[in-house]
Amino acid sequence: MEGSESEWIEVNQNSFISGCGRKVAIPMTVKNTHTKPRNFRILVSETFEQKEELIEWNISVETPKTYEISTSPVDPKNLSVEFSVPGDSSLTVRMIVTTPRGGFNGDRINIKYSVQSEDDLNSTGGVVTVELKPVFIAAKTTVGGELQVSIDLYNKSIKDFEERQHSGVTNPQKEVISIISPKEVRGYIFVETMHPDRVETIAKGIKGFKGIVEGDIRFEEISHYLTPKPAVTGLELGSFVELIDGPFKGEKAKIMSIDKGKEEVTVQLIEAMIPIPVTVRAEALRVLDKR
């Protein structure tokens, strides 16, 4: 478990990566090892590393009562929360950081916290860091329109960026960083962005765009789409194919052997007077049927 841990308190993590407009929950489990109820206090203060000082973050503490503040470099605030833990039991207190919608890549908040018992027998503290990074989101499209929606969304995002540049917006950002439209995925594309809410605004009016799917997607879930599959993938011995390139373009053939290392396939032309094997690149074939 990453973070601080002792006999009477556990903090599950001390470093987070998040997108904009997201909630980051930091649970703290406070244990009362005494037989009688005891009172505790959490003190929270912040420092910032961000491009625009006016951008606000929200911090709340649930005990389960909720206490919250909005804070920024120009108006930093402290938060002090008291709570009681029954004897021989524990209480999970959640600190929740709501990241700003208009943040920039690399912006971060460093939250210094201390937890202390009222009788001064237990005391600890630490720093929790939340840093803003781009996220991947899924956008729903009409089936078959994935590529065109991707192109239109990219073009509109460039136009939006140029318009904000010319209108004098401070530190304008390109809202669409990248778009992944895998052939294998029907009806969805994946968009990398700092501001998911801005992507949906920009995409309004695009033919075939059906909306943003709630939640973020881990890059590990879609990274395999970025690795080209071997050209022989999907080819099997005995399959009937059509040659779509080369001197035998348009001819029908049957697969006789497959060399995965060279990504070459030996086929036998079906309509040839003499059944001579022909070796071609795997990319030059289109599967017709499998028997």
Query: Which pLDDT does position 121 carry in this prediction?
Result: 92
pLDDT, position 274: 80
The whole-number pLDDT of residue 77 equals: 95
Q: Is the pLDDT of residue 133 over 50?
A: yes
Q: What value does the mean pLDDT take over residues 27-55?
A: 95
CATH topology of domain 9-132: Immunoglobulin-like (2.60.40)
When pLDDT is cut at 50, 70 and 90, the band that residue 4 belongs to is: very low
Confidence of residue 215 (pLDDT cuts 50, 70, 90): very high
- 27: confidence class by pLDDT, cuts 50, 70, 90: very high
Does the pLDDT value for residue 289 go beyond 70?
A: no
Same fold, 9-132 and 135-226: no
Q: Is the pLDDT of residue 169 over 50?
A: yes
Report d(CA 23, CA 156) in Å as an integer: 28
Report domain extents, the chain.
9-132, 135-226, 240-289
Cα–Cα distance list, 240 to 201, 262, 284 (Å): 47, 20, 13
Instruction: Check whether 32 has a pLDDT greater than 50.
Output: yes
Position 184 confidence tier, pLDDT thresholds 50, 70, 90: confident
d(CA 129, CA 213) in angstroms, rounded, equals: 27
pTM (2 d.p.) = 0.75
Identify the CATH number of the domain defined by range 240-289: 2.30.30.30
Interhelix angle 196-203/146-166, nearest 10 degrees: 100
Q: What is the pLDDT of residue 209?
A: 97
CATH class, domain 135-226, is alpha beta
Q: Which residues pair with 126 in a beta bridge?
A: 113
Give the integer Cα–Cα distance in Å for 132 and 159. 25
Q: How confident is the model at residue 3 (pLDDT cuts 50, 70, 90)?
A: very low
pLDDT of residue 170: 78
